[in-house]
Chains A and B, each alone.
Chain A
Amino acid sequence: MKKFVLPATILTLIFLSFITLNPETSMAKGIDSSSQCVNCHTNVSKLIRLTWEIEKTRPKPGKSAETSGEG
């Protein structure tokens, strides 16, 4: 009996790590802490620094000075 315990435990561990680490499985599908999108877009100071960088190369979208009137 004992000789089956070790391989069974190893197989179970391999299966569990596959489930949790494979990005295609549903358990790993949600937003996780390794998402660079989340790391950056939830961090105000990072965003401020990055947007300064962006605005240096890409000026703020402007509006035509020729626009006039209401409507």
Chain B
Amino acid sequence: MELYEKIYVNPSFLKTDHGEIACVTCHKGDSKDPDWQTAHKGIVRDPTFPDAGDTCGECHEDIVKTAKNSLHYTLAPFKKIIETRANKQDKSVFEKVCLAKDKHCNACHSSCGQCHVSRPDYAKGGFLAGHLFQKKPCMDTTCSICHGGRVYGEFTGLNDEYPADVHYEKEEMTCMDCHTAKEMHADAIGVVTRFDLPERPRCENCHKDVVSREPKTKSHRIHKDKLACQVCHAQANKNCFRCHVGTDKRGFTFYKSGETKMLFKIGLNINKTNERPYDYVVLRHPPADPGLFDFYVKNGLADFDKLPTWKLDTPHSIQRITPQNKTCNNCHGNESLFLRKQDVTKWEQKANAGIIVPDNKIPKPVKEKAAKQGSG
């Protein structure tokens, strides 16, 4: 996107409700000064971050009140994860870890403006539609910017050999059809992971039969509370390893990740809740690595193994029929689908102890007759 395109205001914006507000009310600067350089003195590029109270909040008070604590604004789980893994014994080391986190991990936060008016800062901004406010922004120019490495590719079928998510492919659904405004603007104070947000999407919001007392499909009746939906209906997801960050000689931040693998691994659910009572869930390896911040400080993540490195995942690559659910025995007795000790590097084994599936927890193969019945 050329610089002029990023800042061009469509004249039709001036006829909208938001267009009736003087530019300087939100962006400051001097609208009477004909010299663009001095006119931009004190300009606020995104008047909605970190606090949209004086801008959006003037009219949308109820939304701003919760949105300022939303996951997109605060990225709070990152903070919790990194602080848990950080070296807390040495204060100066801990401070350096926090600075590195702010510089790298917090770089892709969002704000009211960075979803509804412009592309996120992480993509170097640029109006979505000439400053016209987008009630439901286009996923290709907003969500995909930060979630493009993994989720967007899975959902739209950008990973070779793996078709797009059925919700996208057949129903032409977008991110916002499941991730509603209610979720996006939800207060996330006290939420440890995004999976704990009460407003998060749930398959059963649409697929009500699956959680009914007597689901129509036999496999749903058998596996209902034992397996997360994705265990049967997701395809492989993208797993990343060995991320290292730093700053180059020109002052630009860099991200280096090691290999990327398309894998499908099922693990044990170590955080069972009433809403997620499953024994088995789909896992993903995020790029985190003990040496993540080595550029800034050695041994910064001394407590790295306090948290598992194989994490609960809900891949956005849903299909009704998948390689693992074609027949019962495509999964039962199929060791390769499960995260076993040999799949996990030595230094990660302690952190993932509860997640690794021991041999006696890999479901036994079933007889062919039962297999046929079960596959319905």
Residue B10 CB within 8 A of the other chain:
yes
Residue B243 CB within 8 A of the other chain:
yes
Of chain A, the residue at the smallest CB distance from B247 is: A64
Of chain A, the residue at the smallest CB distance from B238 is: A70
Among B4, B11, B150: residue with most chain A CB under 10 A: B4
Report B167 CB to chain A, min CB distance, Å. Answer: 23
Contact across chains for A71 and B246 when beta carbons are under 8 A apart = no
Residue in contact with B254 in the complex, picked from A30, A37, A42, A64, CB distance below 8 Å: A64
- Once the chains are docked, how many angstroms separate the CA of A61 from the CA of B257? 22
Contact across chains for A64 and B250 when beta carbons are under 8 A apart = yes
Contact across chains for A47 and B149 when beta carbons are under 8 A apart = no
Residues from chain A with a CB closer than 8 A to the CB of B150 are 71
Residue B193 CB within 8 A of the other chain:
no
Number of residue pairs across A and B with beta carbons under 8 Å? 105
Contact across chains for A66 and B22 when beta carbons are under 8 A apart = no
Known contacts A34-B32, A64-B254: does B9 contact A70 (CB below 8 Å)? no
Contact across chains for B257 and A51 when beta carbons are under 8 A apart = no
Residue A2 CB within 8 A of the other chain:
no
Which residues 4-34 of A have a CB within 8 angstroms of B? 29-31, 34
Contact across chains for B4 and A68 when beta carbons are under 8 A apart = no
Of chain A, the residue at the smallest CB distance from B13 is: A42
Contact across chains for A47 and B23 when beta carbons are under 8 A apart = no
Report A67 CB to chain B, min CB distance, Å. Answer: 5
Residue in contact with A67 in the complex, picked from B29, B124, B256, CB distance below 8 Å: B256
- Once the chains are docked, how many angstroms separate the CA of A30 from the CA of B25? 10
Known contacts A31-B19, A44-B4: does B240 contact A69 (CB below 8 Å)? yes
Contact across chains for A40 and B36 when beta carbons are under 8 A apart = yes
Residues from chain B with a CB closer than 8 A to the CB of A50 are 4, 36
Which residues 234-268 of B have a CB within 8 angstroms of A? 238, 240, 243, 246-248, 250, 252-260
Residue B222 CB within 8 A of the other chain:
no
Residues from chain B with a CB closer than 8 A to the CB of A36 are 30-34, 36, 39
Residue B8 CB within 8 A of the other chain:
yes
Among B149, B255, B258: residue with most chain A CB under 10 A: B255
Task: Scan B278-297; emit 1 where CB is below 8 A from any A CB, else 0.
Answer: 00000000110000000000
Contact across chains for B23 and A70 when beta carbons are under 8 A apart = no
Contact across chains for A70 and B36 when beta carbons are under 8 A apart = no
Q: Which residues of B contact A (CB under 8 A)?
A: 2-4, 7-11, 14, 19-25, 27, 29-34, 36, 39, 124, 131, 149-150, 238, 240, 243, 246-248, 250, 252-260, 286-287
